[in-house]
Amino acid sequence: MPAATRRRRLRPAARSFLASLRAFLTPAVWKAAHHARPRRRRLPRWDRQPLLVVLLTMTWCCGDSLAERFEAARAFAGVCLSKRRRPGKTLSGFHKALARWPLAVPRAVAAALRRRLAARFDLRTDGFHVFGCDGSRLECPRVEELERRLGHLGKKAAAPAAPMVWVTALVHLRTGLLWAWRLGKGTAAERQHLVALLPTLPACALVVADAGFNGYALAQAIVQAQASFLIRMSGKLSLYVEQPVAVKDFREGPVCCWPQEAQRAQQPPLRLRLLRLRGKKRRDVWLLTNVLDGQRLSAEQAGRYYRWRWESEGLFRTYKRTLNKVKLLSRTVRLVHREAEGSLLATQLLLALGVQGTSGASGAAAAAASKEGAAVGEPRQPVPGDRVEARAVASKEGAAVGEPPRCSPRQVLRLIRRAIGGVGGRGGPFAEQVRAACRERRRRQSKKVKRRWPRRKESQRLKPPKFLVLSERLKALRAKLESSAA
């Protein structure tokens, strides 16, 4: 047998797009979708697999209209599920089947996919699973049903805005991987969404969030979920200390979060730790955490994790701009929720394919690398002759020390669209192309904003939290409540 033929036969099957996709959409994932859907008539035209594959592919593929995307997605589903019954031929039939689809099915798929991601990747960083949380609004068409069910935003005197859907997402900050999400009306509270997302967090989770997530109730819910948090503080919150504190000299110390509502409800205070990180132009960052041990979470680590929080903003940029989901296209409430769930699943799979390529290993390979002494989060070293070498050299070693390599969602999406169109093999195996789809790691020398955007609100400087000294009465009440809670 010739050597070239032998090499082709020994080539791993996971290098194609379909094989890479099946590495995440495993039989266990499809089994979870099967158990979440009630039993119906046998052999329906739109079964769970073709319905989900078409819904995911419509998010990835190109097209000026839903009809064009549907035709491309339906053809790709026929290739993926060649041994199964062909799906329906019309877009209206697809929408009718999607409207009858229970929301428990995509949510069960998302839960099974989270378990697959946790098993395939090593998501720990210094003993933590570091997640960022943020929210954003998605515009919907101005349809009577959506305006009535989703409500309006803005002041009553002004013209009502379009109906909105609020999305709150958890993002793994070291890899930029979408972990979990929650949907609601445009007026939904992202703090309540985060409380609902706490059961999806793995063990030793650290939630990093901005000043919109501070408060006693949320911090207590995170502590009761046996997770940790790192939340930015502002002047709206008051913290108790044992002795008077000079704000200008404060660096780090223990504090108590105990608002008056909690005192009247006879709830014990939360013993927390406040960190002050020096910023540019006197823009200091005050971070509150329930990790009291400084060796477990140092100020340097906290600053690095909070800088990684920008991955939460980058996720919504990927979802809205790269995947063109600034505005949802469905015109009923049932279809809006299913479109959002399916497009978020597609975003999660796209980022998972990118993380798999840039990391270059599964969870077992990452564990083997850690046994050899490789530090978690170190950039991938280019191998001579590898396609990643050109990108690594082009970065000119401009990346910050300790910053991990991350995939470029735009480049991964281009590779997926080429594979859907049937031209994915021209540049080599799909896995090899994804391995080269990394972001630029150079240091930015100029401003990201080229010109002042009209009607843009400038970010205001956050003031430090207010320090209050515990009185003798509050100390006695604290001792009483803590002893009764113990």
Give the pLDDT band (50/70/90) at residue 149. very high
Q: CA-to-CA distance for 401 and 383, rounded, in angstroms?
A: 20
**How high does pLDDT run on average in the chain?**
84
Fold exhibited by the domain 106-314: Transposase Inhibitor Protein From Tn5; Chain A, domain 1 (3.90.350)
Q: Which two tokens stand for residue 150?
A: 């989703």
- In this prediction, residue 342 carries a pLDDT of 96
- In this prediction, residue 116 carries a pLDDT of 96
Has residue 426 got a pLDDT over 50?
yes
- In this prediction, residue 154 carries a pLDDT of 63
Helix axes 299-308, 310-317, angle to 10 degrees: 10
Mean pLDDT, range 101-110, rounded to an integer: 94
- In this prediction, residue 360 carries a pLDDT of 56
Q: CA-to-CA distance for 11 and 236, rounded, in angstroms?
A: 59
DSSP 300-316: HHHHHHHHHTHHHHHHH
- Give the domain ranges of the chain: 13-105, 106-314
100-104, 326-330, 384-388, range with the lowest pLDDT: 384-388
Q: CA-to-CA distance for 450 and 444, rounded, in angstroms?
A: 13
Phi, psi angles (nearest 5°) of residue 171: -125, 130
- In this prediction, residue 397 carries a pLDDT of 37
Give the pLDDT band (50/70/90) at residue 486. low
73-77, 224-228, 288-292, 430-434, range with the lowest pLDDT: 430-434
Q: Regarding predicted confidence, which is higher, 64 or 109?
A: 109
3-state secondary structure (DSSP) of residue 267: coil
Segment 382-422, tens digit of pLDDT: 333 333 333 333 333 344 445 677 889 999 999 999 999 88
DSSP 408-449: -HHHHHHHHHHHHTT-TTTTS-HHHHHHT-B---PPP-S-S-
Has residue 461 got a pLDDT over 90?
no
CA 355 to chain centroid: 13
Residues of the chain above pLDDT 70, percent: 84
Has residue 361 got a pLDDT over 80?
no
Q: How far is CA 443 from CA 355, 358, 395, 403, in A?
A: 22, 20, 9, 12
CA atoms within 13 A on the CB side of 76: 30
Select from 231, 236, 238 the least CA-distant residue to 286: 231
